[in-house]
Structure 1
Amino acid sequence: MAGPRRSNLQESDRLKSPMEYFVSERNGEEKPRVLPFAILLAVACMSSLGVSARFWFADGRSLQRLVDYQTFKLLSPPSIQQSLRCATAYVHRLTEHSSGRDLAIWENWTQWLVGQFYSPILRTQNPRWIVAGGRGDCSERAAVLQDLLGCHGIETRFVGLGGHVVLEARTEAGTSVLDPDYGISMDLGIEQLQQQPAGQVAAELIRRGMTVPSSVQYEQLILTDFDNIPSDWNAPLSPRLKRLEEFCEIAFWLVPAVSWLFVVWMVIPVRD
């Protein structure tokens, strides 16, 4: 009786891999479940590759724009009104107007994957990616400006103008309309501009160097009633998409980390 007991003790003391506990019965035999481990290992490798791609595919100009952008955010403006004008002109120079761009898979593979089923999430609201890409539409450039002014404690909100989007800033001096897409800043709010005599806004824009047709067209945008809807102060253009994008960014880092933890746990021997 002593011999078998010693054998059982030796067997119980043997170090086993957790993989040996992932077994299934088939034809009366126990076989390890290799498939779950293989899937987990593939997820860990592919998600890690996605994280690495963010750094591999980033070009020098994108990094330079980001460094320049972060430096500008840290600068202390001499006055609030001057900071509004400088920030608007800066975003206008830093980015180019385009119809917008879809987020690339190497920028955030989780967000790109979700975007294959829900396309609006492919249009980022993250100022970092807009600056890195160097281009954006009116709403995306306004999002960059909102981020800049928010660093200095300036309240802003998006205002729709017949399909065009501008930013309205609120300071102690009053409200101002800022349009980084055109590089325009005006020391009056939307409601005040709409109450100006006909032709006065266009005349001011012409005085600043804008062409006559563009000035007249811009004044018509200011006066339009179509899609003239302001957002909440300091709110993103689409809060729901913003939250979903933030979740995708967390998943971008969390999925590979958790996957590798489980892979390591499954291969390190443990005592039975």
Structure 2
Amino acid sequence: MKILVTGKEGQVARCLADRAADHPDLELVFAARAGTDILLDLAHSETIREAVRTVRPDVVINAAAYTNVDQAEDEPELAMQINGIAPGILAEEAAGCGAKIIQVSTDYVYDGTLDRPYLPDDAVNPIGVYGRTKLAGEEAARAATTDHVIARTAWVYSPYGKNFLKTMLRLAETRDEISVVDDQHGNPTSALDIADGLLAIADRWRSDGTAGLGQVYHLAGADETSWCGFARTTFAESGKRGGPVAEIKAITTADYPTKAVRPANSRLDCGKLERDFGFTARRLETSLSKVFDSLADFPSP
């Protein structure tokens, strides 16, 4: 089975590359805006069409996105092109060559007002440009083909790129105390776990080509916490390995204003994915440890 993955340099795509060896029956082909044989830029529709028609995959995983939540408020048109319009073109081209598509989406499609973890069929109501554009991407993929799966995730971290974990470690190199928001709650999710979940879906399609088609799933970490709690867990692991640590001061969202509003509740219920595909992400401490194992200068504890 051949899988075309967008966003070659992104956290999810790089973790898919790391996990590919565990799935020898899946051939992963990575596309990016530059520096690769398969050029695919979600901001330019002609590159999307050419890439899919060249690769002729069995599955497309759209792991690329415009992810700068605050900057999206200033660049809504570009964010919509990449997050909202391009997935529809990608799904249309996938359908044209008989391929299925997994559209990776986000907790930001919810407004965060529920007092429990969100289920995949709960009402969506994005409160910022990023969430609105990602929801538009879901709708575009859904309209283009029935052979799709929407996989919403949240609070992504990994050994790669920019993410909360790496920011905390960097700040701790020069600060003894770091203020972190404690009234936003969600599921920290290792991109390595996201990769495993996406590949579990693709693997199932090798034997059951209709599994989950047309459905929305949540693919997120097994544990819920606040950003403050996530920071403290991060430094507990870093300290075990002789890495940087800092005291964490709990603050409120009001104490740390940002251009884009964040959902106060980003907790995602992943039970549907477990029921349909038998996949559950690892517990936070285990996933965190595996990410640290892949970071330079961090020996095993």
Is this a same-fold pair by TM over 0.5? no
TM-score, length-normalised on structure 1?
A: 0.24
**Higher Rg:** 1
Q: Which has the higher helix share?
A: 1
